[in-house]
Amino acid sequence: MSRPRKDPRMERAAHLVPGGARPRFDLAATPATSGRLRRDPRAEERLALVPGTLRRRLDRSQRAPAVSVVAVAAPVEAEAAPRRVVIAEPAFLVALVPDAPGGRLSAHDRQLFGAARLLADAGGGAVLALVDGSSEELGAAGADRVLALPITGYDPEAKALALNAALAALDLRHVLFPESAEGGDLARRLAALSGEPFFAGAESLSPKAVTRAARGRRVEQRRAPPRLLSLAIDAIAPHAGSLHEALPVEFAFPETTGGALLSAEFIPADPARVSLAEADFVVSAGNGVSDLDTFRMLVAALGGTPGASRMLCDAGLMPRAAQVGASGTVLEARGYFALGIAGAPQHLQGVARCEHVIAVNTDLHAAMIERAGLAIVADAQKVMPALLRLLGEEGAP
């Protein structure tokens, strides 16, 4: 694949005949080769050529067996196992408090680990995760040490008191929080409790400086990372590539007395009432849906939030608040079920952030069909009653 690279000056210098007042070269002598390799694009192409196809096709990923790989070419590592990293004697500790809803790390939590590793790895520090319950994913996420907080149920004040005790006793250089509803609340409680400087909603972070937006996003504030930090979502990439030990550590938390909260009760979202911007699963109708009563029944049966394309809202068949798209609501939903929607660019903008899209449309070439993870080319008027029937049959026994 590669042959030695030519260096004319070196070659010429190799022919120099020593001695004599003027430089003299003996070009007939055999030259010595330089060590650097030179690429041979034609040989590479020949290797990448996929045999047996009518059209000339190149496979540059080198999955095809290489015929004559030069010995010096670096061996392609096949799915190397993640590197294990053990930090036995950390120079300092960077703590983080993930939200971990339901005991599982969210994407924001993983980004928090990325940020903590960034701060810790710069000076030989270790990452300490302060969590409610233990979980196996912490090592892969990037935690060197794990400290379980003695908290049950929703009690942010008690959690802040426990964190304050840990902050005072353990030598924590930084404590990181996600700038989410729960994490942001906890960070501010701890900041007020400990009086430590606090940097809210960091949008970029390095061991030297953190930045955030202030004055209605008109100025950027910048300073060296203080002790307490909260991190905005999607600012720092999560950690990957090495496995950490996630060693449990012990700490005697002081006893806390009950806070002022008398009761806390979780109320799940009522899909029929939540606004589109907050909805998790949206079922949406377009111009291809003529039977709106069945559509409404289907939305209720699926437990989704009703949405619509602009055509239906303009026609007054659906409320304006239900319009999805550039001039309506941009969804944050996880799932989007589009019935009879063509998928105009203005509409697709509204679903750009939806992870899973399902489309039912009679037109195979509709843009919505192309966008969807499950696309069904069928009449929505027939699919909707079928769905209702199926849901009814399942609910009956």
Of residues 348-377, those binding ligand FAD (CB under 6 A): 350, 360-363, 366
Is residue 380 a contact point for ligand FAD (CB under 6 A)? yes
CA 179 to CA 203: how far, in whole Å?
Answer: 10
CA 289 to CA 286: how far, in whole Å?
Answer: 6
Q: Where do we find the tokens 């911007």? A: 277
CB 101 within 8 A of CB 153: no
62 vs 327 by CB, closer to ligand FAD: 327
Of residues 213-232, those binding other proteins (CB under 8 A): 213-223
244 vs 371 by CB, closer to ligand FAD: 371
CA 342 to CA 287: how far, in whole Å?
Answer: 8
CA 232 to CA 180: how far, in whole Å?
Answer: 8
147 vs 328 by CB, closer to other proteins: 328
CA 283 to CA 289: how far, in whole Å?
Answer: 12
Task: Report the nearest approach of other proteins to the CB of residue 391 (Å).
Answer: 7
Among 261, 327, 374, 392, binds ligand FAD (CB under 6 A): 327
Among 192, 223, 379, 392, binds ligand FAD (CB under 6 A): 379
The closest of 126, 259, 251 to 189, measured between CA atoms, is 259
CA 210 to CA 214: how far, in whole Å?
Answer: 13
CA 243 to CA 256: how far, in whole Å?
Answer: 35
Choose one: 45-53, 120-128, 306-314, 357-365; the region binding other proteins (CB under 8 A): 357-365
Residue 369, binding choice from ligand FAD, other proteins, none, Cβ under 5 to 8 Å by partner class: other proteins
Burial class for 238, CB neighbours closer than 10 Å (0-12, 13-18, 19+): middle
Is residue 189 a contact point for other proteins (CB under 8 A)? yes
Among 22, 51, 55, 266, binds other proteins (CB under 8 A): 266
Residue-level length of the chain: 397
234 vs 379 by CB, closer to ligand FAD: 379
Of residues 30-59, those binding other proteins (CB under 8 A): none
Is residue 307 a contact point for ligand FAD (CB under 6 A)? no
Of residues 279-298, those binding other proteins (CB under 8 A): 279-281
Of residues 239-298, those binding ligand FAD (CB under 6 A): 286-288
Q: How far apart are the first and last CA of the chain?
A: 68
Among 174, 239, 347, 371, binds ligand FAD (CB under 6 A): 347
Q: Under rule CB under 6 A, how many of the chain's residues touch ligand FAD?
A: 27
Residue 242, binding choice from ligand FAD, other proteins, none, Cβ under 5 to 8 Å by partner class: other proteins
CA 67 to CA 46: how far, in whole Å?
Answer: 10
CA 135 to CA 148: how far, in whole Å?
Answer: 10
Q: Where are the alpha helices (DSSP H) in 332-379?
A: 345-350, 367-371
CA 191 to CA 204: how far, in whole Å?
Answer: 20
Is residue 328 a contact point for ligand FAD (CB under 6 A)? yes
Task: Report the nearest approach of ligand FAD to the CB of residue 394 (Å).
Answer: 24
Q: How distant, in Å, are the alpha carbons of 324, 329, 341 from that of 307?
A: 6, 9, 11
147 vs 325 by CB, closer to other proteins: 325
23 vs 303 by CB, closer to other proteins: 303
- Which residues partner with 242 through β-bridges? 83
Angle ∠(98,100,102) on CA atoms, nearest 5:
165
Is residue 140 a contact point for ligand FAD (CB under 6 A)? no
Choose one: 29-37, 100-108, 217-225, 303-311; the region binding ligand FAD (CB under 6 A): 303-311
175 vs 289 by CB, closer to ligand FAD: 289
- Which residues partner with 212 through β-bridges? 221
CB 84 within 8 A of CB 243: yes
Of residues 169-208, those binding ligand FAD (CB under 6 A): none
Is residue 204 a contact point for other proteins (CB under 8 A)? yes
Is residue 375 a contact point for other proteins (CB under 8 A)? yes
CA 211 to CA 223: how far, in whole Å?
Answer: 7
- The site for ligand FAD (CB under 6 A) is made up of 286-288, 309-311, 323-328, 340-342, 344, 346-347, 350, 360-363, 366, 379-381
